[in-house]
């Protein structure tokens, strides 16, 4: 099977600070990969490099056959980045909904303005995705009338309405009150069950253990472990991974 995401020899510098160090990674279609690690280990930066919200300093990113070299320049390079972004949906820590637009208008904005989709087609697709996250009945509401969990579910519906090949989640529950986290994780479980390829930066170890096909652990800008959840959580190889999991287990008690 051909990998849908390929990352080769990826480095990222902010000034003199190297935050990603020679990352190489492949993700298969329909695979759910969770990325865990201490704050500052490079998880979110790696995610943001995949769709070029951060420009890699060195290396190659390929998403669904579109390959972008970090050294590229000019119109062709910008077009390749645009093509990659069309294939990747992104859900952020904050919800980034337009406050002046209704839920439905938030969800159709991307397909209509970026992809040029017919508005009737976009509305039908948006309503289907809002229904799938349990929020079709809120389609005419504005974001200020929604809870944090509902806002994040709308953000997921918005990303899905762009019909991406890969979904990127950057700590999607970190801004939520504890009682709202479950509703967002349940939607993400459904998206995974429906066969979407997903790369998820998360601190929710229970979600990683239950849903992920693979768990990657980052430390100091490198992938220090890459294993299936059972092996990783039961028999971590790197002491940094063991310390991370031990802290999680203490938090469960």
Which single residue is written with the structure tokens 């429906």? 194
Which residues, 6+ apart, have CB-to-CB distance to 190 below 8 Å?
A: 132
Let me know the angle formed at the C-alpha of 79 by 87 and 124, rounded to the nearest 5 degrees: 40
8 Å CB contact between 237 and 245:
no
Looking at the DSSP assignment, which residues form a beta bridge with residue 36?
217
Structure tokens at 27: 């993700």
- Residue 253: predicted pLDDT: 46
Separation between Cα atoms, residue 185 and residue 172, nearest integer Å: 9
Give, as one character, the DSSP assignment of residue 99: T
Reading the chain (253 residues) residue by residue, the pLDDT tens digits are: 799 999 999 999 999 999 999 999 999 999 999 999 999 999 999 999 999 999 999 999 999 999 999 988 899 999 999 999 999 999 999 889 999 999 999 999 999 999 999 999 999 999 999 999 999 999 999 999 999 999 999 999 999 999 999 999 999 999 899 889 999 999 999 999 999 999 999 999 999 999 999 999 999 999 999 999 999 999 999 999 999 988 876 555 4
Whole-structure pTM value: 0.94
Q: Taken in order 251, 193, 25, 162, is the CA torsion positive or negative? A: negative
What does the angle CA 35 – CA 38 – CA 40 come to, to the nearest 5 degrees? 95
DSSP SS3 for 217? strand
- Asked if 197 and 30 count as a contact pair (C-beta separation under 8 A), the reply is yes
Looking at residue 13, its pLDDT comes to 97
pLDDT at 248: 76
- Name residue, tokens 């959840």: 229
C-alpha triplet 92, 118, 189: angle, nearest 5°: 35
């Amino acid at each position: 099977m051909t990998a849908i995401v390929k990352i080769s020899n990826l480095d990222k510098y902010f000034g003199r600070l190297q935050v990603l160090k020679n990352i190489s990674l492949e993700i298969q279609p329909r695979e759910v990969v969770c990325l865990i690690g201490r704050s500052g280990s490079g998880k979110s930066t790696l995610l943001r490099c995949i769709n070029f919200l951060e420009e890699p300093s060195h290396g190659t990113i390929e998403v669904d056959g579109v390959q972008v070299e970090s050294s590229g320049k000019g119109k062709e390079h910008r077009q390749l980045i645009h093509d990659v972004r069309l294939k990747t949906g992104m859900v952020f820590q904050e919800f980034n909904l337009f406050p002046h637009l209704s839920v439905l208008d938030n969800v159709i904005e991307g397909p209509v303005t970026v992809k040029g989709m017919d508005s009737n087609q976009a509305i039908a697709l948006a309503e289907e995705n809002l229904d799938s996250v349990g929020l079709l009945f809120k389609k005419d509401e504005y974001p200020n009338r929604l809870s944090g969990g509902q806002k994040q579910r709308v953000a997921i519906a918005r990303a899905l309405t762009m019909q991406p090949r890969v979904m990127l989640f950057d700590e999607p529950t970190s801004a939520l009150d504890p009682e709202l986290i479950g509703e967002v994780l349940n939607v993400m479980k459904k998206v995974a069950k429906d066969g979407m390829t997903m790369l998820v930066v998360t601190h929710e170890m229970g979600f990683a253990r239950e849903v992920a096909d693979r768990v990657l652990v980052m430390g100091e800008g490198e992938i220090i472990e890459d294993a299936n959840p059972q092996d990783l959580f039961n028999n971590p190889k790197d002491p940094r991974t063991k310390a991370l999991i031990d802290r999680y287990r203490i938090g469960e008690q």
